[in-house]
Amino acid sequence: MTSVYGRLFQVSTFGESHGPAVGVVVDGCPAGVRVEVAQIQADLDRRRPGQSRLVTQRQEGDTVEILSGVFEGATTGTPVAMLVRNADQRPGAYDHLKDVFRPSHADFSYLAKYGRRDHRGGGRSSARETVGRVAGAALARRWLSDVYGVEVLAWVQRVHDIDGHVDHDTVTIEEVEASPTRCPDTDAAQRIVEAIEAARRSGDSLGGVVGFVARGVPAGWGEPVFDRLEADLGKGVLSLPACKGFEIGSGFAGTRLTGLEHNDPFIAEDGQPRLVTNNSGGVQGGISVGAPIYGRAAFKPTATIASEQSTVTVEGDDTVLAAKGRHDPCVLPRAVPMVEAMILLTLADHALRQQAYT
């Protein structure tokens, strides 16, 4: 029950980083959504390792195969299963991790939970699990775009202490993709490249913040009380590996404003209320108001680093670990399509919910 997300637009992901395959079953995608493998593949390629020297050098083609639910180029309304074979498995590369708990990784907690674990590459806790999310979200992206004109975009807002200047109202996908850092601020991007390479050289890693925006969401999505839009967006994004914080609109910084400063006045525009400012982040009372929905997510520095760290073996003895293998010194660039995926899946779910009642 842990790998199923959504109530109406529902994805069920599967697969370990070093098993035969990863993938997803999308149940609840409306019928008639045009499906182009190339579009899904393009989203997967943004998530893929090895795409630039900034990220892990695992070489994985991540070629997606559609197994069901598509007929004559469009969804039929039945489950869409998508499969990506794991190509560049090197299970032996993880033998040195079999008997030791990597600090701040899921090794110990999985063993505590299940009484056993698949030590190869983190198994299910690996970022490779997000392949299924991204593939499923590609369907959501197409449907939300075609039917509602919704556009979802994320970017690297900050790495370590290097902050990008990004206007969430105007930033474009082209600006984001212009740099392998996915930071659309050119100056910051350059410094981020240097910082990531320095971290790699020193056997260390960096964290940071991803910004996101959803444009074109009509007023009325989201639900009162438990399934507020910010609650469900938060859950989706916080379920990503290494994510430790989420905020919408003015977020934590907005708590330093007074009500008079923070409230978003309405003005009439063509007889309709429009927000003058948007500290709300496009959501009021848990429901969208027609303004851009934006926020930020915190990603901790990658846990797997080459430097030596103190830890404990499964037998309970103190030891020292220095990770081998190919790892991201900074997950931020690859986290961008993952954040988009969770925003898209959440919005698609709420779009269907709203359709149910109207």
Q: In the window 258-287, what residues touch a copy of itself (CB under 8 A)?
A: 258-268, 271-273, 276, 279-281, 283-287
Q: Considering beta carbons, is residue 100 or 171 the nearer one to a copy of itself?
A: 100
Cα 265 to Cα 262: distance, rounded to the nearest angstrom? 9
Considering Cα of 245, then 251, then 257, then 259, what sign does the dihedral take? negative
Segment 198 to 237, residues that bind a copy of itself, using CB under 8 A: 199, 203-209, 219-228, 230-232, 234-236
Q: How far is the CB of 174 from a copy of itself (least distance, A)?
A: 26
Segment 316 to 335, residues that bind a copy of itself, using CB under 8 A: 316-318
Segment 74 to 103, residues that bind a copy of itself, using CB under 8 A: 74, 76-81, 83, 101, 103
Cα 226 to Cα 232: distance, rounded to the nearest angstrom? 8
The one among 48, 55, 69, 211 contacting a copy of itself by CB under 8 A: 69
DSSP 139-155: HHHHHHHHHH--EEEEE
Distance of CA 281 to the CA centre of its chain: 19
Segment 117 to 136, residues that bind a copy of itself, using CB under 8 A: 117-118, 120, 123-125, 129
196 in contact with a copy of itself (CB under 8 A): no
Q: How far is the CB of 276 from a copy of itself (least distance, A)?
A: 7
Locate the DSSP E strands across 55-168: 64-66, 70-71, 74-75, 80-85, 151-159, 162-163
Q: Considering beta carbons, is residue 155 or 299 the nearer one to a copy of itself?
A: 299
DSSP 8-63: SSEEEEEE-TTSSEEEEEEE-PPTT-B--HHHHHHHHHHH-TTSSTTS--------
Q: Which long-range contacts (CB under 8 A, 24 or more apart) does 44-51 make?
A: 44/84, 44/131, 44/134, 44/135, 44/138, 46/134, 46/177, 46/334, 46/336, 46/337, 47/130, 47/131, 47/134, 47/334, 47/337, 47/338, 48/334, 49/326, 49/328, 49/334, 51/180
Q: Is 101 within 8 Å of 81 (Cβ atoms)?
A: no
Name the burial class of residue 237, with classes exposed (0-12), middle (13-18) and buried (19+) by CB atoms within 10 angstroms of its CB: buried
43 in contact with a copy of itself (CB under 8 A): no
61 in contact with a copy of itself (CB under 8 A): no
Q: How far is the CB of 19 from a copy of itself (least distance, A)?
A: 5
Q: Considering beta carbons, is residue 215 or 235 the nearer one to a copy of itself?
A: 235
290 in contact with a copy of itself (CB under 8 A): yes
The one among 164, 184, 211, 301 contacting a copy of itself by CB under 8 A: 301
The one among 59, 172, 186, 355 contacting a copy of itself by CB under 8 A: 355
Q: How far is the CB of 344 from a copy of itself (least distance, A)?
A: 14
Segment 2 to 41, residues that bind a copy of itself, using CB under 8 A: 2-5, 7-8, 10, 12-16, 19-23, 25, 27-28, 30-32
179 in contact with a copy of itself (CB under 8 A): no
Stretch binding a copy of itself (CB under 8 A), from 45-53, 168-176, 177-185, 300-308: 300-308
